[in-house]
Amino acid sequence: MAEYDYDLLVVGAGSGGVRAARVASELGARVAIVEMDRLGGTCVNVGCVPKKLFVYGSHFAYDLQDARGYGWSTETSFDWAALRANKDREIARLNGIYGGLLERAGVDLLKGRAQLLDAHTAEIGEMRRSAERILIATGGRAILPDIPGSEHAQTSNAVFSLEELPKTMMMVGAGYVALELGSVLCALGVDVTLVHRGEEILRGFDRDLRCHLHDELEAKGMRIVLETRVQELRSTGSGFEAQLSNGEVLETDFPVFAIGRQPNTEGLGLEDLGVELGTRGGIIVDEDFTSSVPSIHAVGDVTDHMQLTPVAIAEGMHLAHRFYGRGEHRIDYMSIPTAVFCQPELATVGLTEAEAWHRCQDVRIYKSVFTPLKLTLSERKEHTIVKLVVDASNDRVVGCHMAGHGAAEIIQGLAVAMKAGATKAQFDATIGIHPTSAEEFVTLR
């Protein structure tokens, strides 16, 4: 082993790479991590964290409306530049924290873009470093459309560095990134049109929740155009116009495409080394995150599996424990809870109703749509939906879904109950906390 500079060389200091590097080093390995941009990767810089800060910031628009019903009269104004600057300051603080964590764990940080020269060596600018194992944790990037005028198309990254709020935004796509960032700008007064080629928003989620959310987003002023593609983007001098496949010409100041993300595998030299890639360019790995080349591993978005920070972190942990510990950390991909932080937020764990009918012989569905107590004194109308999917053969709860205030916080707890194999009878036997929205889950009949 001494013939190599390191035991483990990690490429990419995002969620998965940093966790693998830190844990491997703490377990005694000699580790270096290479990063060509800011520490923390997508999640910290242009993903989960700044997105959630913007969600909090924009939700005050609704909170202030609600406050009137509770006797508050408020003179308010909103300053986008202040929100952005405060967000930037917090992200810079987190970048520093990541640096400190790596330093304290004894990981060498190498700044620059890495390219592999062979199965044990990477070139980083002028430097060459060798390692017994190389971990590729380079994440993914947003896809841009292949249409005339695509040079005018922006990605979600642009939202985080907007100098000023546009008057209008065209958000193309209807996955979680599109809905979340569309909701943020909509709440802040931007005229948002969502254009989506599919027949409903949020493909893959439970149908009741998709339809519920569609109505709620429209009620908040978002325009949703379905079964429509953007065929061309043209600059008008003062803004842009999008030629839509339904014949409409949509004028917009800010055309953003959130139509999917692709793994960052280009330019690493992987193909030359015989690393097998999937059809979308993701690195194919086995259950220990080893690629077709035994010394090259991959975790996180670059494997094109589940694009979630906790998944990338769990994979990084697994890899470190597998090769430098006792291999006791294992990942269970079943029933991973997930949220869409649009407004209202949606969270889900387990099977949708359609999936349950596919997998179980008989299914029982329980659902409730209601106005949360907090909004009874507000002029603002927003409904919450909760839904349980139960396997009738054994009474096991196989799906929990919610769209409404606090959904993500509530579903995280229910995910533990589902992991423990909770039955509907056990949900029913649980006393609720009153008055809450969460108690609906234990009173569904």
**Residues labelled catalytic:** 434
Give, for 419, the enclosing helix (H) or strand (E): helix 407-419
Considering the complex, state which of residue 124 and residue 414 has its C-beta at the smaller distance from ligand FAD.
124
Considering the complex, state which of residue 138 and residue 352 has its C-beta at the smaller distance from ligand FAD.
138
Instruction: Tell whether residue 101 is a contact of ligand FAD (CB under 6 A).
Output: no
**274 neighbors 293 (Cβ within 8 angstroms):** yes
| Stretch touching ligand FAD by CB under 6 A, among 69-77, 145-153, 306-314, 378-386 | 306-314
Single out the residue of 5, 8, 10, 16 in contact with ligand FAD (rule: CB under 6 A): 16
DSSP 32-55: EEEESS-TTHHHHHHSHHHHHHHH
Instruction: Tell whether residue 300 is a contact of ligand FAD (CB under 6 A).
Output: yes
For ligand FAD, the binding residues in 27-66 under the rule CB under 6 A are: 34-37, 41-43, 47-48, 51
Tell me the C-alpha distance between 97 and 95, whole Å: 6
Q: Peptide bond preceding 263: is omega within 30 degrees of 0, i.e. cis?
A: no
Q: Peptide bond preceding 294: is omega within 30 degrees of 0, i.e. cis?
A: no
Q: What is the number of other CB atoms lying within 10 angstroms of the CB of residue 70?
A: 9
| Stretch touching ligand FAD by CB under 6 A, among 11-19, 376-384, 385-393, 424-432 | 11-19
Least distance to ligand FAD, CB of residue 115, Å: 7
Tell me the C-alpha distance between 195 and 202, whole Å: 12
Considering the complex, state which of residue 94 and residue 390 has its C-beta at the smaller distance from ligand FAD.
94
Instruction: Tell whether residue 109 is a contact of ligand FAD (CB under 6 A).
Output: no
Single out the residue of 154, 156, 348, 352 in contact with ligand FAD (rule: CB under 6 A): 156
Tell me the C-alpha distance between 92 and 313, whole Å: 21
Tell me the C-alpha distance between 150 and 235, whole Å: 11
The mark string for 121-150 relative to ligand FAD (x by CB under 6 A, - otherwise) is: ----------------xxx-----------
Instruction: Tell whether residue 269 is a contact of ligand FAD (CB under 6 A).
Output: no
Residue type, 234: R
Single out the residue of 17, 57, 282, 337 in contact with ligand FAD (rule: CB under 6 A): 17
Q: Where are the alpha helices (DSSP H) in 126-245?
A: 156-159, 176-187, 207-219
**267 neighbors 124 (Cβ within 8 angstroms):** no
Least distance to ligand FAD, CB of residue 11, Å: 5
Tell me the C-alpha distance between 19 and 25, whole Å: 10
Single out the residue of 291, 309, 348, 384 in contact with ligand FAD (rule: CB under 6 A): 309
Q: What is the CA radius of gyration of the chain?
A: 24
Helix (H, G, I), strand (E, B) or coil at 203: coil
Least distance to ligand FAD, CB of residue 251, Å: 25
Q: Which residues bind ligand FAD (CB under 6 A)?
A: 11-17, 34-37, 41-43, 47-48, 51, 113-114, 137-139, 156, 177, 264, 268, 300-302, 307-310, 312
